[in-house]
Amino acid sequence: MYDCIIVGAGPAGATAAYHLSKAGHQVLLLDAAKLPRYKPCGGGVSPQVAQWFDFDFSPAISVKVRKVRYTFNLADPVEAELPADKALWMVRRDEFDHFIVQQAQRQGATLRDGTKAKGIKNQGDHWDVNTSQGPVQGRFLIAADGARGMMAKWLGFSQRKYKLGAALEAEPRLEVPEEPIVYSDLGLLKQGYLWNFPKADGYSIGGGVFRTGPKQKYDLRTPVTDYIATFDLDTEAAQHFGHPILLWDGDQELHTHRAVLAGEAACVVDPFTAEGIRPSIFSGLKAAQAISQAIQATDGPSCDRALAAYTQIMKEEWGEEMRWARRIARLVYQAPALTYRVGVKRPSSTLTLVNIFCGEVSYAQVASRAIKRLSGGLLS
């Protein structure tokens, strides 16, 4: 009987496993894939995540980037340089996720990779989890199995709020310049943007659509292929990987009887930038704290209150931010040319965005003046 079974060994699940194990709880971490496993992702990580752990992430960082280059429809380039202490981390998800899992194992967490969760059953004071390697039991559950996972459905979360986004990426492998640069294009891809994130041994180039309609169809392959070609890379050799994104689209319950949702299963992805790693880690941290309190509760009501507090914390500490992010996303992706002219091209814009990314400035603090500036440009 484990204190907690965590399904999904991505950033959210691995983070929860680390903190619960460090607190002395018996944790089982399940993942359907054998680790390390490939995960399509741009791999941009905020340095802010370091403050939520007590170990050094250096072995898991491919490169740190201080230069950003923007274009609009592949033209009108703008460059910006970041302070050294705000250099963006570029990671490969197979290495980064597995690194956190290994730290959790060092704290005592049990990992069963290559083990698929096939169903769950509520036994009142614990959960039975049926897996491809046999049944396991845990007093509590954390569902961190991502956008395609089944745990949320099995737990009864049938009406989750999210905006469905889509991303398509390719990973050309070749030598990266000594001074790596993050590239981004606004305008070529409607209702989203294109990116090129460097790694030590190649690039993650892709595009995402973040303001989709219920029946709209988007051609991601053509603009991504065109973008790859601008870097003199072989578009024929680049293998494409597509994946859905569950963008935050409103507050919702993230807890149920002896279980919580975390990471993309909890629909925490930033609706403006589609950043998913930092919010997933944050939710994993808060989920671990709530589960730890619930494990130590002396009665049922105290246990329920501990898990309910997780939903409330995510509403207050993440949902408030995402409410503003969603407003900005609506404006930016509806008027990309205006955004580029009066927003992106401003010298202070990149530092402001990075400060948000690093958790030093909130969306709410900058959104009012940004919306006023963009609205004024639209009216004029």
Q: Which stretch, 135-144, 190-199, 206-215, has highest mean pLDDT?
A: 135-144
pLDDT digits (tens, 9 = 90+) for 297-329: 988 899 999 999 999 999 999 999 999 999 889
Straight-line distance from the first to the last Cα atom of the chain, in angstroms, rounded to the nearest whole number: 65
Say whether pLDDT at 143 is over 90.
yes
Looking up tokens 């209150």 gives: 305
pLDDT digits (tens, 9 = 90+) for 351-373: 999 999 998 988 988 877 766 76
Q: What is the pLDDT of residue 103?
A: 98
Say whether pLDDT at 272 is over 70.
yes
Domain ranges of the chain: 2-370
Residues facing residue 203 across a β-bridge: 198
Q: Which of 32-36, 55-59, 232-236 has the lowest mean pLDDT?
A: 232-236
Q: What is the CATH number of domain 2-370?
A: 3.50.50.60
Q: Which stretch, 137-146, 174-183, 188-197, 355-364, has highest mean pLDDT?
A: 137-146
Name the band, by pLDDT with cuts 50, 70 and 90, for residue 217: confident
Q: What is the pLDDT of residue 280?
A: 98
Q: What is the pTM of this model?
A: 0.94
Q: What is the pLDDT of residue 70?
A: 96
Name the band, by pLDDT with cuts 50, 70 and 90, for residue 375: low
Q: What is the pLDDT of residue 213?
A: 60
Name the band, by pLDDT with cuts 50, 70 and 90, for residue 241: confident
